[in-house]
Amino acid sequence: MTVHSHSQKQKELPSFGECAFGCFTVFCLLLILKNPDVAITYMNQGLLLCAKTVIPSLFPFMVLSELIVSGGIGNRMLRVLAAPFRRLFALPTAACRAVLLGWLCGSPIGARCTVLALSRGELTREEAERTLAVSNNPSSAFLISAVGVSLWQNRRFGIALYAVVLLSAAITGILLSIPHRKRNQRYRLPREELFLSPPQTGAKLFSGAVRAASGNMLLVCAYVVFFSTLVGTLQLIFTSFGVSETLAAPLFCLFELSGGVSRASALGNTLHAALLCAFAAGWSGLSVHCQVLSVCDGTALSFRPYFRAKLLQSLLCTLLFFLLLHLFPSLTVPAQGV
């Protein structure tokens, strides 16, 4: 009886993670309440960032990816691309669609496709966790246009950064696949498993794609605005202690990708600014990770492999971009007629 009550009390006690998260939440609440004018300023900046950068670079891809997945177009694309993806990542053919769309269109589209494949039985839980780790990256439009053209005035910078992000994601996926190559040969799926549900067609398909993309876009913008407000108010602490922008910029990169690369690109040291942008692109920011977690809500997936992979990818992305800048230093020089 005593042992039972003791174990019941232990279950009722919050874990260390719950205590830490609760304390951080209360701290952020008090910080925002103490500085409401600063919070409103950064909230407006977050909304402006969504209107000028996030929505234009992501929403069209969200609609098109929904059309590809629901319309069955992605299944036809897999006939050509499935074989090399299977060999690289030791994943089923169905995972190739999530990886491909995640690479082209950006987060959280890769997560959306992964969850869809998991719900159809095309992926096991372990395969879905590895697919998540590989398929969620910044979109090509964001890195090339928003980062390369808008922030660095050099399209080649954005193209190089996008290529390095994909290369680091591929290396990460290969490393994650090593323990599973001999243990599991399930990634050679029969062709009929690619068509478990009949594709939709016509106006119903298009209206459904726009509706789904709009809901996901609203979720993305909500996270961007929240983390922009949070990081902006947290910066007050750094300012009060005289912390320089060089140390404050990584804080933005840790929490939010769009604001992070914007702060990083404004640093005085060009090499440090470029490498911090590469780290932010590989890591993607807690805001993006929360978007991925929201898309995967209810799937019972473990996100430990995902976070480990993103940390590894951020380090690889920084290292590879450092080597690339030594080979092509002109990437950081503003180009004429961008």
State residue 82's pLDDT score.
67
- Write out the two tokens for 192: 């009929």
| Spatial separation of the C-alpha atoms in residues 245 and 253, rounded to whole Å | 12
Whether 191 has a pLDDT exceeding 70, the answer reads no
State residue 166's pLDDT score.
94
Whether 207 has a pLDDT exceeding 50, the answer reads yes
| Spatial separation of the C-alpha atoms in residues 125 and 123, rounded to whole Å | 7
Q: What is the mean pLDDT of the chain?
A: 80
User: Mean pLDDT: which of 63-67, 106-110, 273-277, 302-306 is highest?
Assistant: 273-277
- Write out the two tokens for 55: 């929505």
- Higher confidence at residue 203 or residue 293? 293
Q: What number is the average pLDDT over the span 12-30?
A: 71
DSSP 178-223: GGGTTT--TTS--GGGGGSSPPP-HHHHHHHHHHHHHHHHHHHHHH
Helix (H, G, I), strand (E, B) or coil at 244: coil
CB atoms within 10 A of CB 334: 9
State residue 193's pLDDT score.
43
Whether 210 has a pLDDT exceeding 80, the answer reads yes
Whether 181 has a pLDDT exceeding 90, the answer reads no
CB atoms within 10 A of CB 327: 8
Cis omega (within 30 of 0) for bond into 92: no
Residues whose CB is less than 8 angstroms from the CB of residue 217 and which lie 6 or more positions away in sequence, other chains included: 55, 58, 59, 62
Of the listed ranges 30-34, 112-116, 163-167, the one predicted with least confidence: 30-34
Residues whose CB is less than 8 angstroms from the CB of residue 179 and which lie 6 or more positions away in sequence, other chains included: none
Q: What number is the average pLDDT over the span 115-131?
A: 87
Angle at 290 (CA atoms; ends 285, 292), nearest 5 degrees = 100
Angle at 152 (CA atoms; ends 146, 154), nearest 5 degrees = 90
Under DSSP, the state recorded for 53 is I
Q: What number is the average pLDDT over the span 211-223?
A: 83
Q: Which of the four pLDDT bands, split at 50, 70 and 90, describes residue 326?
A: very high
Whether 172 has a pLDDT exceeding 90, the answer reads yes
Q: What percent of the chain has pLDDT over 90?
A: 20
| Spatial separation of the C-alpha atoms in residues 109 and 139, rounded to whole Å | 10
State residue 317's pLDDT score.
96
For residue range 71-102, what is the model confidence (pLDDT) as tens digits?
A: 665 555 566 666 777 788 888 877 887 888 88
Q: What number is the average pLDDT over the span 274-302?
A: 89
State residue 190's pLDDT score.
43
Of the listed ranges 28-32, 191-195, 290-294, the one predicted with least confidence: 191-195
State residue 183's pLDDT score.
57
Residues whose CB is less than 8 angstroms from the CB of residue 334 and which lie 6 or more positions away in sequence, other chains included: 152, 153, 154
Helix (H, G, I), strand (E, B) or coil at 63: helix
Whether 330 has a pLDDT exceeding 70, the answer reads yes
The domain limits of the chain are: 34-331
State residue 187's pLDDT score.
46
Side-chain-side CA neighbours of residue 138 (13 Å): 39
